[in-house]
Amino acid sequence: MEDHLDGGEAILQGFRDLGIDYIMASPGSEWGSFWEALARQKVNGTPGPAYLSCWHETLAVDLAIGHTLASGRMQAAMLHAGVGLLQGSVGIHAALIQNVPMLVVSGEALTYGEQEGFNPGRQWYQNLSVVGGPQRLVEPIVKWASQAPSIETLYESVLRAGQMAQRTPMGPVYLNVPIETMMKPWSRPARLRRVPATIAPRAPVPEIEKVAELLANAENPVITTEGAGRRPETYAALKALAEALAIPVIETPSSLFSNFPKDHPLHQGPSFRPFFDTADLVLVVRSRAPWYPPRQRPSKATIVLIDENPYRGHMVYQNLHADSVLEGEVTFTLQTLRELASTVRTDAGKIAERRARHEQRHRALDEARLASVAAAKKKRPIDPVWLCAALGEALPADTVYVDESVSHRDTVEAHLRNRGPQSFIKVRGALGQSLGHALGVKLALPERPVVALSGDGSFLYNPITQSLGYSQRDNLPILIVVFNNNEYRAMRTEHLSYYPQGVARQHDIFYGAPIGGPKYAELGAPFGCWGRRVEDPAELVPALREAHAATKDGRTAILDVVVNP
């Protein structure tokens, strides 16, 4: 069935040669040519990417993000015209600021019914087309945006877009494919090619040697990181370097991943403040904002940035106070630092003393954490500290947590005992993406339990119906835990920070705070989901275990936990 190939086959062949596993799609009427190619792929038994039809564009894009963060492999999102791009823009923006490679495609019509013998549909003439092309809508939130100019260049345009997405800094790219281009005949090239993996540039070894010397001479070096644990190999490289030289590790309050074992004696929690005046060397590893306000830098430290993308182009303002920058693939930099450190003369006594000092501080932090959990365990309404501790007590050690808890993020950072690499992913960007991220993670890691943590406010921003329906239809059961404080707590907190003694406080009138939310545990009933509301702290661990058992049986579970605001 190779006769009469057209642009749909050119796009699909490009996806195959880019090594894409899945096409996350919210269907659009311009994609008939592509669907024909997919049908041909199935009938012929041709290996190629699977098509996942979602019920919402944001869900489709977030599935791609979650899968890529868990697997390390770029995926494609296929949306509808300009309106689909607008619906998916929340996720596309999140991919940009998280440096997630993604190939986003949508289409348009160019002839509006004026071409003899071809009718794209009156909707393109009346309301779907965008002046200047749909790429104008997403140019600010992608790395690169363009239109495929012809059928002759379509296949290579798909390959080029995929390569652009994976170049450093990685991020989403957009390709607009007009219907008229897709419908034209296409001949498969005589020589197809599997696109080689993109290898990130590496920092020069002589520059890494200079930092190794700084490490050898430092009295109080510190590592602070936000995203070192994006891949397991980088997680391991950071751990090896910290252990070799007894360097304490701080995971910032905005950490995107699990970066370092929380039970490790060198783990020093989420706050850099205790080291502000004592650190003499700070390794800032994949961190956009290691301290806040940004003008407040460690008073006497030399600051070294270790990052593929140290200066984030999407940020309006960034002040990192860098004295040295090792720009390049982070795993290589950390491994090389570790190797070079072993050849540099170091004071073994100094390292031993530093190790003992930080181990003692870690024990003190852990004792304080356990004391706060003990104090919170019986409080009513349920204390979020106990909820985070109960998650670790009730769920398996290999659980992956996707966090969109917002008001409770500091509590989650301090008290959630996620374990090992790829055990924690924080949603970044606009609220309303945790369900799609979690489902994408589950798609990539089907054998691991996946838990979406969400405030009741952020939960309601998600495409809930579409996500629950998709999870059941495609057998991707996840556990959703709602931190239900019955308000937009962040709105009240910010309001009070601006007007601590204002009229709103005096009269308890907070217009931004009320939610009046639904019965969250019942929202999944039409899809066969498990649901339960918990108000008694003594019921929390049994309820979590019951919810986990439901996911093992193939049912997505919603646990509505009433927490103390």
Contact 184, 117 (CB under 8 A): no
Q: Same domain for 117 and 28?
A: yes
Looking at the structure, tell me whether residues 250 and 285 fall in a common domain: yes
123 and 212 share one domain: no
436 belongs to a structural domain: yes
Residue 371 lies in a domain: no
225 shares its domain with 323: yes
How many structural domains does the chain have? 3
CA atoms within 13 A on the CB side of 135: 16
In this structure, what CATH number is given to the domain that contains residue 556? 3.40.50.970
Looking at 360, 391, 408, the residue that finishes a domain is 360
Is 1 domain-assigned?
A: no
> Can you spell out the DSSP letters for 351-402?
HHHHHHHHHHHHHHHHHHHHHHHHHHTT-SSBPHHHHHHHHHHHS-TT-EEE
3-state secondary structure of 247: coil
Range of the domain at 329: 205-360
Please check whether residue 80 is in contact with residue 26, taking contact to mean a CB–CB distance below 8 angstroms. yes
Q: Closest Cα partner for 434 from 414, 463, 410? A: 463
pLDDT given for residue 496 in this prediction:
82
Which pLDDT does position 297 carry in this prediction? 87
Say whether both 149 and 261 belong to one domain.
no
Same domain, 263 and 146: no
Paired sense of beta strands 557-562 and 479-484, if any: parallel
Q: What is the CATH number of the domain that holds 248?
A: 3.40.50.1220
Query: Would residue 192 count as lying in a domain?
Result: no
How confident is the model at residue 3, as a pLDDT? 65
- What's the whole-model pTM score? 0.95
User: What is the three-state SS of 500-533?
Assistant: CCCHHHHHCCCCCCECCCCCHHHCCHHHCCEEEE
Task: Tell which of 328, 360, 392 closes a domain.
Answer: 360
* Helix or strand holding residue 221 (H, E): strand 221-225
Coil, strand or helix at 42 = helix
Of 132, 148, 182, the last residue of a domain is 182
* Residue 284 and residue 329 in one domain: yes
Q: What are phi and psi of 249, to 5 degrees?
A: -120, 130
Nearest to 93, CA basis, from 429, 433, 443, 511 = 429
454 and 388 in a common domain: yes
Longest dimension (CA), the chain: 84
152 plus 273 within the same structural domain:
no
**Parallel, antiparallel or unpaired: strands 221-225 and 281-285:** parallel
Cβ distance 409 to 457 under 8 Å? Answer: no
Residue 212: predicted pLDDT: 95
- Report if residue 194 sits inside a domain: no
Closest CA to 387 of 371, 398, 376: 376
Note whether 242 and 165 are same-domain residues.
no
Cis peptide bond prior to 149, omega within 30° of 0: no
* Residues 268/312, Cβ–Cβ less than 8 Å: no
Domain membership of residue 196 (yes or no) is no
> Can the peptide bond before residue 381 be classed as cis, meaning omega within 30 degrees of 0?
yes
- Could you tell me if residue 370 is inside a domain? no
CA–CA dist 67, 69 (Å, integer): 6
- CA atoms in the 13 A half-sphere facing the CB of 256: 26
Q: Identify whether 500 is preceded by a cis peptide bond (ω within 30 of 0).
A: no
- 194 contacts 17 by C-beta, under 8 angstroms: yes
Does 490 lie in the same domain as 354? no
Domain match, 133 and 237 both: no
- Dihedrals phi, psi of 455, to nearest 5 degrees: -70, 160
CB 379 within 8 A of CB 537: yes
Query: Is 2 a member of any domain?
Result: no
Residue ranges of the chain whose pLDDT lies below 50: none
Specify the 3-state DSSP secondary structure of 349: helix
